[in-house]
Amino acid sequence: MNYKRLIYTLIALPGITSVNAAELLAEFDPPTLAGFVGIAVDPASGNLVVYEEFGGATMHVIDQSGNEIGTIVSPGVSSNDYDLDFATGPMTIDGIAIPAGTLLVFNGDDSPERLYALAPDGTVLATTTLDSLSIVGGAHVPGSNTVATVDYTGNDFVRILDANDGTQIGSFNPGPPPFDIFYGDIDLSSETGNITLVSDSQNIVRQITQQGFCVRELNVDPFGIVLMSGVAFDDATGNMWIANRNGTIYHLDPRPDLGDSDSDGLDDFDDNCVDVANPLQVDTDNDGIGNACDADITPVDDNDCTVNFADLNAMKNAFFSTPASPNWNPDADLTGFAGDPDGIVNFLDLNRMKTLFFGAPGPSGVGNLCGCGL
């Protein structure tokens, strides 16, 4: 095993600057297997289930050291547009009740594309067609009877589908900036509900909310990870498994302990103002950046992600106001003596704006309208 730890700062893509932290726990090449297009973590055993590119009728079960310990019959046609997941809770597929922990298969090369629920021996418990286009990845959406899929190049859409009949409920493009996908995958964290995307044509792992807001971008170049084609979360640990087209599997901790930089009682990953103490996390414009570090307050140009003279003028118009004042602007109430807003716009708020002037609001450790978190 190859153990590494790396915390680094980077400009991930034009327009997004973020601090990325991750720990590479292990990597291995299962000796009898080749390039992968699907991976899932069995919540009962912790073992991995993988599918090779055009892997025929066989999925492979491997332990967390890369040793093959079994196989499962794969449904549908031999495929390279294929993914695996385990149901995070009870589901209904084609009117049939499916228990939590059931293996799910998304086959994008079936015509039409299909979702399968399988017994441990590969017996099909239920199946339905999917109203999607060019699926390369799929996952159960925690706490719902829906699944999320991602399309390959030409569409690059995340789609939310009813698991019972496969009809589309909604869709969005996981940008900006664009996230091009050819081979790739999607999974969701049961803890946060956030979506994680990987692609063989990207050097980043992108995490977004179900509304499409960027949460984090992890640059995997320092770990030597390339050609990413599969991703799976271990909900028991919060760790992530990535499979690639070269036949390598990587085990990462995407949230190593960064501490609490501003000593406000919140871990940096969960803090909407990383460098400014704001224990109450007040965010009056709901953009994912706390008031204490968000001086982007201009109502007519809200969330342009720059603090400038328009914002200064908006603070001037709200100066010395309180919630009972006709000119009250809650976004202009940046801070008080305790760090969080105090119900009056005054010189404390003006001084905070001064420290942010001609810059971007934040930084925020959570997903926000102005870019990624940590």
In the prediction, which pLDDT does 370 show?
81
Q: What percent of the chain has pLDDT over 70?
A: 91
pLDDT tens track for 268-315: 878 899 999 999 999 999 888 999 999 999 865 567 889 999 999 999
- pLDDT by residue (tens digit) across 2-27? 333 333 222 233 333 344 568 899 99
Q: 335: burial class by Cβ within 10 Å (0-12, 13-18, 19+)?
A: buried
Residue 161 has pLDDT above 60, yes or no: yes
H/E segment holding residue 355: helix 347-356
Spatial neighbors of 157 by CB under 8 A, at least 6 apart, are 133, 150, 151, 171, 172, 173, 174
Average pLDDT on 93-117 reads 97
**What angle is formed at CA 174 by the lines to CA 171 and CA 179, rounded to 5 degrees?**
135
Residues above pLDDT 90, as percent of the chain: 68
* Mean pLDDT of the 33-45 span: 96
Bridge partners, 96 (sequence order): 93
Which residue did the predictor score with more confidence, 47 or 208?
A: 47
Written as one letter, the residue type at 20 is N
pLDDT beyond 80 at 359: yes
pLDDT tens digit sequence for 54-97: 999 999 999 999 999 999 999 999 999 999 999 999 999 999 99
pLDDT given for residue 301 in this prediction: 54
Distance CA(166)–CA(135), nearest Å, equals 13
- Band (350; pLDDT cuts 50, 70, 90): very high
Structural domains of the chain, ranges and CATH numbers in brackets: 6-253 (2.120.10.30), 268-356 (no CATH)
Contact by Cβ (8 Å): 206, 217: yes
Of 8-12, 189-193, 231-235, 346-350, where does mean pLDDT reach its minimum? 8-12
pLDDT of residue 22: 80
Query: Which pLDDT does position 7 carry in this prediction?
Result: 30
DSSP string, 73-109: EPPSS--SSEEEEE-SS-EEETTEEE-TT-EEEEETT
